[in-house]
């Protein structure tokens, strides 16, 4: 159970998540960070806990070529499909976290968000790729955060500069209304250069 939200502008991508962890009996466990940094990558996942562990801690994500950082979306999709998805599939298969349904390999009950170089991509359970701009949210509180982001994006003229604050606020809304989401919130900015900077609660005050 979780809330992870992401937003994107030409200047940077922001991803944030609350920290609540719930066991199979719906007990609230000690919180933990849900966005994992690996070099220029930020990896977040919602769903089956074992699958989340595999994609966040065991997959070694490839270095982004410098030439790709200035390319258009089509080049990114092609590169992720060729260089990233096979690594996720191979590692999940090795750890017995991959299932086959109707002839298609799937990560059961899971959604993944990958952020790098100021861009955000969603990886579905069937390992399909989606661009997550200008915003998206996943997890048990994802629909609440998504509704908040939609309203903010449509009514705030300064989205390009302040969308990290707005995304943080959307996660706060999810914490307020989703019983499985709990503070604190951890977030990161990903710049087009590949640089990643952490965002603390005080940055959004």
65 or 106, greater pLDDT:
65
| Percent of the chain's residues with pLDDT above 90 | 70
Over residues 48-76, mean pLDDT: 92
Lowest mean pLDDT across 49-63, 73-87, 102-116, 170-184? 102-116
Give the span between the Cα atoms of 114 and 57, in whole angstroms. 13
Q: Judge whether residue 110 has pLDDT over 70.
A: yes
pLDDT in tens, 155-205: 888 999 999 999 999 999 999 999 889 999 999 999 999 999 998 776 775
Q: Burial-class residue 110 by CB neighbours within 10 Å (0-12, 13-18, 19+).
A: buried
Residue 151: helix, strand or coil by DSSP? helix
Kind of pairing between the strands at 21-22 and 28-29: antiparallel
Give the span between the Cα atoms of 62 and 87, in whole angstroms. 9
Helices assigned H by DSSP within 8-158: 49-53, 73-79, 85-94, 142-155
């Amino acid at each position: 159970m979780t809330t992870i939200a992401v937003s994107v502008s030409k200047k940077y991508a922001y991803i944030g998540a609350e920290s609540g962890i719930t066991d199979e009996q719906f007990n609230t466990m000690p919180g933990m960070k849900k966005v994992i940094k690996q070099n220029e990558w930020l990896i977040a996942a919602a769903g089956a806990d074992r699958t989340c562990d595999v994609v966040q801690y065991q997959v070694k994500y490839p270095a982004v070529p410098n030439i790709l950082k200035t390319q258009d979306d089509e080049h990114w999709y092609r590169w992720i499909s060729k260089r990233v998805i096979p690594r996720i599939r191979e590692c999940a298969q090795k750890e017995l976290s991959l299932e086959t349904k109707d002839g298609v390999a799937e990560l059961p009950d899971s959604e993944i968000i990958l952020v790098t170089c100021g861009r955000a991509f969603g990886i579905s359970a069937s390992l399909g790729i989606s661009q997550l701009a200008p915003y998206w949210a996943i997890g048990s509180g994802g629909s609440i955060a998504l509704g908040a982001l939609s309203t903010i994006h449509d009514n705030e003229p300064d989205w390009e500069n302040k969308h990290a604050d707005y995304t943080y606020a959307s996660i706060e809304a999810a914490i307020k209304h989703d019983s499985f989401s709990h503070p604190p919130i951890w977030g990161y900015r990903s710049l087009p250069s590949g640089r990643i900077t952490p965002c603390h609660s005080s940055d959004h005050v």
